[in-house]
Each structure stands twice: as C-alpha cells, then as structure tokens.
Amino acid sequence: MKLRHIALALCAVATTATTATTYAQQAPKPEDQIRYRQSIMNVIGRQFGMLAGMAKGEVPYNKEAAVKAAGLVETLSTLPAPLFGPGLDKGAPTKAGAKIWTEPDKFKAALEKMQGEVKKLPAAASDPATLKVAAGDVGKTCKGCHDDYREKEFRN
C-alpha cells in the first residue's frame, strides 16, 4: 500500500512537470516574447551592422564573413513577425511603438519589405560592389520601419 502511494505520488509529479513544460512551450509569457524579439533584433543589428560597415568601406571586406552574416540576417528576419502579435505591446520595457498594434497591416507590410530586400543579401554578399547596393536597399527598409514604429526610449 505504502509503495503504491509513493508510485502514485511520483506519477503525479511527473504529470505536473510535463504539463508545465508543454504549457511553457505553447504560450511563453509576453515578457519573454518581448525579450526574445529584442534579442533577435539585436543579433540582426550586429550582423547587418558588419555588412553595412563593409559596404561603406569602414570594415575591410571579407567574403566569408559577409556571406555568413548575410545568411544569418536572412534567416533571423523570418522570426520577428509573430513576436509583434496581439498582446505583445506590453509586459516588458520595449521600444515598439503602440502604432504597431493599431495598424498591424501596415507594420506587416514594412516587415515584408525588409524580408524582400534581405533575401537578396546572401547572393549579393559574395561581391563588394553588389553588397554595397543590396546593403543600402536593406538599410532603407530598417530605417523606414524604425522611423515609423520604433520609439527612441524604452516604454513599458
């Protein structure tokens, strides 16, 4: 009897742990989603910053590094869209403008414009002249969205 109780108790613990893990995977807290989108943006910023530096001649051109960075920017640019979804306008300090949630279609269009230009980066990165043009085009889409949808200061 005693052993059976222990076994049942262990089962209950295991079930609770599994449920908690599943829940965490399905519905991360807004706070975590906001931090995650900022992390992605920061990596995009660092990787693209290097490409922009090469395009401007501020950083020596390096083909291998450029192609790698371009691939990362392309891959990462596919991640943020759902992280600007409903309910993710607050929950942690953020620079995301409130307008994102009042005109989601326009924001989505700005994101897609960036993704469209970013797709051209990996092929362009293997040559300094084509990289210069492609990085310039991508940079305009970053700036365009930041001008419209990113606040200068963190808000909560």
Residues 102 and 18: their CA atoms lie apart, in Å, by 37
| Nearer of residues 68 and 95 to ligand HEC, judged by Cβ | 95
Q: Using the minimum distance from each CB to ligand HEC, give the nearer residue, 10 or 104.
A: 104
CA distances from 52 to 27, 71, 77, 83, 136 (A): 36, 14, 16, 25, 8
Cβ-closest position to ligand HEC:
45
Amino acid code (one letter) for 97: G
Tell me the site size for ligand HEC, rule CB under 6 A.
22
Of 95 and 120, which CB lies nearer to ligand HEC in the complex structure? Answer: 95
Binding mask 56-85 for ligand HEC (x = CB under 6 A): ------------------------------
Chain-centroid distance of CA 79 in Å reads 5
Task: Give the single-character DSSP code of 94.
Answer: E
- DSSP lists the bridge partners of residue 94 as 155
Which residues contact ligand HEC by CB under 6 A?
34, 37-38, 41-42, 44-45, 48, 94-96, 107, 110-111, 114, 138, 141-142, 145-146, 149-150
